[in-house]
């Protein structure tokens, strides 16, 4: 067995093998409605790995007899979290317990140490093979997140329409792949407020977001083929972004989307902006993504404010995830 590092020049044949392994391992691991990454998603990540000033993506492939039998995703964080790697390992169901996952993890650990990293996060549904693997490798449960799913067929449209208008003193603005230039400074500040979300015992520091980081994040998402939709609340008096919510639609799939960040800046909390923005997003999706059937989101179990908003809009719990942290340096 050999470990290959995916790079922008990786062949289409190898990418298709990787995707087949993604489908096989994901289908065996997950009993809830979270689909495997599409071939277009994997290709987008391979061709556009990113890097400073934002996170860099890297994939490893376990290859035997010229076939992919396992793989690992990894995101190498940047800025104030250059010490951290978010990763996951996956092995074909029929090839598990042969040391393939461990070989992938050993490669990740060695690379992390060589790059001066000290922590690797290995997320997985509680009780899953991935969670058991992480614990056996010495990773400690550091945060519990709830994965919730919204079936758009069950959304209360009247509730959404009543909830979308913002409180007095605020207006809603919407955009896609390119954020308005005049809002970038306050958008960067709002992005920093995401660090208020519970992190449990994860070794995550508060990031300082710059305008270049925001521009790079949006450009990379678009280059990978994702369609980003954003709804923001703007404070009328100051003209600043008071909060935002975003949804990403992956390439090669029209029925499924993932909720990105939702945040309200501390000074503007208590004005039901979260409910307003997320309701306005559902209104937007009716028009701009009519084929969409469901949205997935993750929230820390202790984040009761955001969980309450999601439950009110119709999100239903699907599964609990553990964030398992491995100390390597």
Question: What are 48-83's pLDDT values in tens digits?
Answer: 999 999 999 999 999 999 999 999 999 999 999 999
Q: What is the mean pLDDT of residues 188-204?
A: 95
Q: Which of 143, 123, 131 is nearest to 301 (CA)?
A: 143
Q: What is the mean pLDDT of residues 278-306?
A: 96
Please determine, for residue 33, whether its predicted confidence score (pLDDT) is greater than 80.
no
pTM of the model: 0.94
For residue 234, the SS3 value is strand
Q: What is the mean pLDDT of residues 32-61?
A: 92
| 176 close to 229: Cβ distance less than 8 angstroms | yes
pLDDT of residue 27: 65
Angle, to 10 degrees, between the axis of helix 12-29 and the axis of helix 39-47?
120
Q: What is the mean pLDDT of residues 110-115?
A: 98
Please determine, for residue 30, whether its predicted confidence score (pLDDT) is greater than 70.
no
pLDDT band for 128, please (50, 70, 90 cuts): confident
- Measured between alpha carbons, how far is 164 from 277 in angstroms, rounded to an integer? 6
- Measured between alpha carbons, how far is 129 from 93 in angstroms, rounded to an integer? 10
- Measured between alpha carbons, how far is 172 from 229 in angstroms, rounded to an integer? 13
Q: What is the mean pLDDT of residues 245-250?
A: 98
Domains and CATH numbers, the chain: 2-144 (3.40.630.30), 148-321 (3.40.630.30)
Q: What is the mean pLDDT of residues 206-220?
A: 95
Please determine, for residue 307, whether its predicted confidence score (pLDDT) is greater than 70.
yes
């Amino acid at each position: 067995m050999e470990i290959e590092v995916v790079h922008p020049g990786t062949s289409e044949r190898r990418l298709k093998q990787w995707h087949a392994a993604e489908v096989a391992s994901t289908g065996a691991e997950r009993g809830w409605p979270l689909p495997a990454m599409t071939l277009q998603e994997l290709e987008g990540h391979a061709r556009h790995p990113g890097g400073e000033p934002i996170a860099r993506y890297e994939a490893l492939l376990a290859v035997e007899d010229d076939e992919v039998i396992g793989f690992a995703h990894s995101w190498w964080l940047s800025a104030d979290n250059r010490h951290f790697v978010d990763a996951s390992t996956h092995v074909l169901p029929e090839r598990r317990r042969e040391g393939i996952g461990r070989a992938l993890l050993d490669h990740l650990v060695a690379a992390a140490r060589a790059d001066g990293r000290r922590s690797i996060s290995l997320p997985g549904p509680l009780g899953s093979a991935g969670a058991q693997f992480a614990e056996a490798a010495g990773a400690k449960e550091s945060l519990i997140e709830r994965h919730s799913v919204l079936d758009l067929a069950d959304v209360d449209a009247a509730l959404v329409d009543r909830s979308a208008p913002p409180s007095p003193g605020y207006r809603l603005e919407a955009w896609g792949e390119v954020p308005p230039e005049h809002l970038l400074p306050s958008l960067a500040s709002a992005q920093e407020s995401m660090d208020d979300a519970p992190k449990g015992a994860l070794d995550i520091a508060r990031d300082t977001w710059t305008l270049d980081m925001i521009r790079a994040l949006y450009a990379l998402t678009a280059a990978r083929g994702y369609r980003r939709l954003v709804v923001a609340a703007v404070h009328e008096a100051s003209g600043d972004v008071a909060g935002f919510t975003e949804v990403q639609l992956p390439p090669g799939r029209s029925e499924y989307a993932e909720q990105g960040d939702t945040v309200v800046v501390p000074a503007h909390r208590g004005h039901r902006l979260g409910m307003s923005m997320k309701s306005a997003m559902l209104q937007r999706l009716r028009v701009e993504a009519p084929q969409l059937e469901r949205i997935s989101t993750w929230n820390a179990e202790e984040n009761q404010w955001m969980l309450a908003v999601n439950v009110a809009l119709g999100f239903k719990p699907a599964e609990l995830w553990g964030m398992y942290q491995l100390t390597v340096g």
